[in-house]
Amino acid sequence: MYVILGAAGNVGRATATALRRAGNHVRAAVRHETQRRALEEIGCETIVVDLFDAESVAHAIAGARAVQILCPLPHHHADPAAAMRHMIDASVTALRAAPPGQVLALSDYGAEHVSGTGITTLFNYLETQLRTVDAPLTFLRSAEHMHNWARVLPMALAKGMLPSLHHPLDKRFPTVAAQDVGLVAAGLLVDARASQGAPRIVSIESDTRISALDVARTISELSGRAVAALELPRGDWTNVLRNGGLSEPHACLIADLYDAHNAGRIDVEAGIGERRFGATTLAQVFATLVPQAATTTAGR
Specify the pLDDT at position 195.
55
Residue 300 has pLDDT above 90, yes or no: no
Residue 194 has pLDDT above 60, yes or no: no
Query: Does any domain span residue 76?
Result: yes
Range of the structural domain that residue 28 is part of: 2-145+177-206+266-278
Q: Which residues pair with 204 in a beta bridge?
A: 142, 276
Query: Does any domain span residue 164?
Result: no
Query: Does any domain span residue 62?
Result: yes
pTM of the model: 0.94
Query: Does any domain span residue 127?
Result: yes
Q: Which helix (H) or strand (E) holds 179?
A: helix 178-189
The CATH number that applies at residue 87 is: 3.40.50.720
Helices 54-61 and 80-97 cross at an angle (nearest 10°) of 50
Query: Does any domain span residue 227?
Result: no
Query: Does any domain span residue 224?
Result: no
Distances (CA, A) of 169 to 64, 89, 214, 252, 265: 45, 38, 9, 21, 17
Average pLDDT, rounded, for the chain: 94
Query: Does any domain span residue 169?
Result: no
pLDDT, one tens digit per residue, over 248-270 is 899 999 999 999 999 999 999 99
Rounded Cα gap, residues 8 and 261, in angstroms = 28
Total domains, the chain: 1
Rounded Cα gap, residues 134 and 220, in angstroms = 50
pLDDT, one tens digit per residue, over 115-172 is 999 999 999 999 999 999 999 999 999 999 999 999 899 999 999 999 999 999 999 9
Specify the pLDDT at position 19.
98
- pLDDT class of 72 with cuts at 50, 70, 90: confident
